[in-house]
Amino acid sequence: MQDPDQDESLERQIDQWRSYLRRRQAIHSVDVAELEDHLREQIAALVDGGLAPDEAFLVAVKRMGELDALSREFAREHSERLWKQLVMPASESGEPPRARTEAIVAVCLAAAAALAIKLPALFGISLDEDLGFYARNLSFFVLPLLVGYFVWKRRADRATLRWPAAGFVGAALLANVFPFAPQGYTEALTALHLPIALWVVVGTTYAGGRWSDGAGRMDFIRFSGELFIYYVLIALGGGVLSAFSALIFQAIAVDIEPFLESWLLPCGAMGAVVIGSWLVEAKQSVIENMAPVLTRLFAPLFAAVLLTFLATLLWTGRGVDIERNVLIAFDLLLVLVLGLLLYSVSAREPQAPPGAFDVLQVVLVVGALLADAVALWAIAARISEFGFSPNRVAALGMNVILLVNLAWSALLYIRFLRGRGPFSDLERWQTDYLPVYAIWAAIVVIAFPPLFGYI
Amino acid sequence: MEINKDLIAASSTPIVLGILAEGDSYGYAIIKRVRELSGGHLEWTDGMLYPVLHRLERLGYVEARWEVAESGRRRKYYRITSRGRAQLAEERRQWQAVDETLRGLWSALSIAIRYGDVASTPVPQGV
């Protein structure tokens, strides 16, 4: 008869040994299972031979060999495991079959999105003639399917879906009921702001029940950044595919450009959103996030450009030339700097002490604020001359929202650098601010068209 | 007596394939069989057998399957394939050639020792 206490301590020891093995990248969980079977058999044989269980464990572990040497040997045989693979057949690596189901679901939803954008064409609404219709409704072809994907993936219950569904239906009504002037400003503004508002709605389903939690919103920010990068990569691949197919069909004197323009481009653009989302979800724990890497790379360069710009401005004493698009340009600058800030925040270890990169971030943010302040000053001085057009109000509103965010971020960051506050304050500020963008975008979509007479 | 690592590594393929040619088996049983056969001279580090098995599987010499053993645990069994048998035959030819060469050498040496030639043969110095 074996002593149950000893059995328990043996199990604990085996658990510990297993967790050591699991940490080795080259040894997969199936291999751990195989080695564990070996270890248990060996222990049983040794106990039969008269050893106490813990002695048997020690001997068996010793015979198994040193972990470092073992994992080196596994790495030599399975060198591909040191390269983290994203698209892998799930059958043998011991992953659950759900990974394959997910791939099928994602591809089906992507195909549905690709078909959805061709649906209006059945009713005589063509891409060439009714560009406005497509611009206003772009979000509705793909985002509901993306929501469907997250609902499926998170196994969300129906009740939580009510608000997102209501948001989508309401937005679809507004976008199509308002009597927009053809190719007017307000139509363009709606087309631009609707996706922003709805993207945050997608975020609530992405986060599942964790939207009210700052960490859930931060995950959505990370997801958005990675999706953007994957989307750009897929778009690049799509460009190569189009160019290549155009070339080879040209060789046999067939012009496939109409097909590329009316099918490959719109269908691909829609499907890629779902496929990109699926890839980001699948890779989440497998591959390093790209957005923070790019941030590290470009934050110093942008900081250098901004500082040079400010220095040149001071040196030459030139005023900012108020051209038509200058406000938009400074909006984009703020968006960019905010993105750089956001993605470095998203990847930063909150407990780490302030470092050189943090100082650089502050320099970048303060530089952007100064540049924007100069531009705003120039614009404010002459805005009465221009009057308020919907474009200008929308751009100004966005500018103010970004300015408030960055100014407060700079303050929190400086406080952190001086050791007066935790880094998590900055993180919370950023995640709490997310709904503000959605609310502003919703205001532009809902209030601007009637306010400015649908011009 | 301890057999050196290179020799163990080189002989691991024919030994594992040979044991599997006797019948399907799994890691622990293979190690046990090696110990039996070698009279304890071939001391394999147990864990090192598995990368070898995985390599043979990748090369298509063996096939693996998971089964539930009588202990109730899941266990990975290996079976030799026809390619594995062909490889085993090939290894066997090579090892026999090595063995014959060495045998010839050993017997020549033992004759030489008997006649005392070795003692008078100058040993090369400073190599």
B27/A37 Cβ within 8 A: yes
From CA A354, how far away is CA A351, in angstroms rounded?
9
Domain edges within chain B = 5-117
Residue A119 scores a pLDDT above 80: yes
Both A157 and A79 in one domain: the answer is no
Both A46 and A146 in one domain: the answer is no
* Residue at token pair 């390619």: B83
What are the b/e assignments for A317-345, b being 16+ CB within 10 Å? eeebeeeeeebbebbebbeebbbbbbbbb
- 0.90 exceeded by the pTM? no
Mean pLDDT of all residues in A375-403: 78
**Domain enclosing residue A53, as ranges:** 4-87
From CA A143, how far away is CA A440, in angstroms rounded?
19
Contacts of A115 (CB under 8 A, 6+ apart): A267
Which stretches within A211-355 are classed as H helix? Answer: 214-251, 257-259, 265-283, 290-316, 326-347
Both A271 and A296 in one domain: the answer is no
Please count the helices (runs of H) and the strands (runs of E) in chain A: 17, 0
What dotted CATH number matches B5-117? 1.10.10.10
Could you tell me if residue A437 is inside a domain?
no
Facing residues of B25 across strands? B78
Q: What is the number of structural domains in chain A?
A: 3
Best to test chain A binding among B5, B76, B77 (most A CBs inside 10 Å): B76
Angular region, A94: left φ>0, alpha ψ -120 to 50, beta rest: left
Could you tell me if residue A95 is inside a domain?
no
Could you tell me if residue A25 is inside a domain?
yes
Which stretches within A317-423 are classed as H helix? Answer: 326-347, 356-386, 390-417
What confidence tens digit (pLDDT) does each residue in B40-92 have?
A: 788 788 888 999 999 899 888 999 999 887 778 889 999 999 999 999 999 99
Mean pLDDT of all residues in B18-26: 93
What confidence tens digit (pLDDT) does each residue in A302-355 have?
A: 999 989 988 988 888 776 666 666 777 888 888 889 999 888 888 887 778 888
The whole-angstrom distance between B46's CA and the closest CA on chain A is: 4
Secondary structure of residue B64 in the 3-state scheme: strand
Q: Would an 8 Å CB–CB cutoff place B58 in contact with chain A?
A: yes
Both A201 and A298 in one domain: the answer is no
Both A263 and A345 in one domain: the answer is no
Both A251 and A375 in one domain: the answer is no
Residue A31 scores a pLDDT above 70: yes
Sheet holding B25-26, edge to edge: B25-26, B74-80, B62-68
B50/A34 Cβ within 8 A: yes
Q: Are A245 and A256 in contact (CB under 8 A)?
A: yes
From CA A142, how far away is CA A363, in angstroms rounded?
39
Tokens linked to A124: 């005589």
Chain A residues within 8 Å of chain B (Cβ atoms): 30-31, 33-35, 37-38, 40-42, 44, 60, 63-65, 69-70, 73-74, 76-78
Query: Residue A121 class from Cβ within 10 Å (0-12 exposed, 13-18 middle, 19+ buried)?
Result: middle
